[in-house]
Chains A and B, each alone.
Chain A
Amino acid sequence: GIQVEQSPPDLILQEGANSTLRCNFSDSVNNLQWFHQNPWGQLINLFYIPSGTKQNGRLSATTVATERYSLLYISSSQTTDSGVYFCAVASGGSYIPTFGRGTSLIVHP
């Protein structure tokens, strides 16, 4: 099956800083989603982005399907951005996503 690698595994930021999270995948992509799992465990959809670029407030994402990676940008980070960010990719003939291991983000005030 498809391999999904996320980097960095851990990230610590000061409030106000910017960051880029990366998701590499090993096969052609049918769909790709970014999620934020908050400290209470809830999974929140951020982007559905099999290709191209999308923006939502301080967050934006870019997927370059031909080069098999996606990037999540967080600008002017806030303490509420803390949590784990997952990339989930479906490939081949399947639309069932495979999740990466996530990037754990801590934003300090």
Chain B
Amino acid sequence: NAGVMQNPRHLVRRRGQEARLRCSPMKGHSHVYWYRQLPEEGLKFMVYLQKENIIDESGMPKERFSAEFPKEGPSILRIQQVVRGDSAAYFCASSLDLQETQYFGPGTRLLVL
């Protein structure tokens, strides 16, 4: 049973480009969460999605960031017009239900030059 998959593992973008991060949850999991980790810090919640619905996006910056979890396919975190401050590790987690254990993917390390 594969765990949470994320790709790419590393992503390099120049300022102004777009970054697309993908997350495939564990089999059977319909709850997906995105977190951001800055160097030397803990993870900060960004957005919580269920299939085709954004449930909680209270941690998501209001501009340039968006997330989706379509009926078919992985969840996508999209960052438009990236800036150097977007450089971080972005983790995706999934769970069977909201009250259940979250399982994390390996993360995508984004570097903005």
Residue total for A at the interface (Cβ-Cβ under 8 A): 20
B44, chain A: closest CB distance, angstroms: 7
Q: Is the interface of A mostly helix, strand, loop or mixed?
A: strand
Kindly state whether residue A45 has any CB partner on chain B within 8 Å: yes
Q: When each residue 59-99 of chain A gets 1 if its CB lies under 8 Å from chain B and 0 otherwise, what string results?
A: 00000000000000000000000000010100000111111
Q: DSSP majority for the B interface?
A: strand
Bound-state CA distance A17–B52 (Å) is 49
- A30–B41 Cα gap in the complex (Å)? 23
Q: Mark B79-113, 1 if CB is under 8 A from A, else 0.
A: 00000000001010000001101111011010000
Chain B positions near chain A (C-beta within 8 angstroms): 33, 35, 41-45, 48, 56, 89, 91, 98-99, 101-104, 106-107, 109
Q: Interface of A with B (CB < 8 Å)?
A: 30-31, 33, 35, 41-43, 45, 48, 86, 88, 94-102
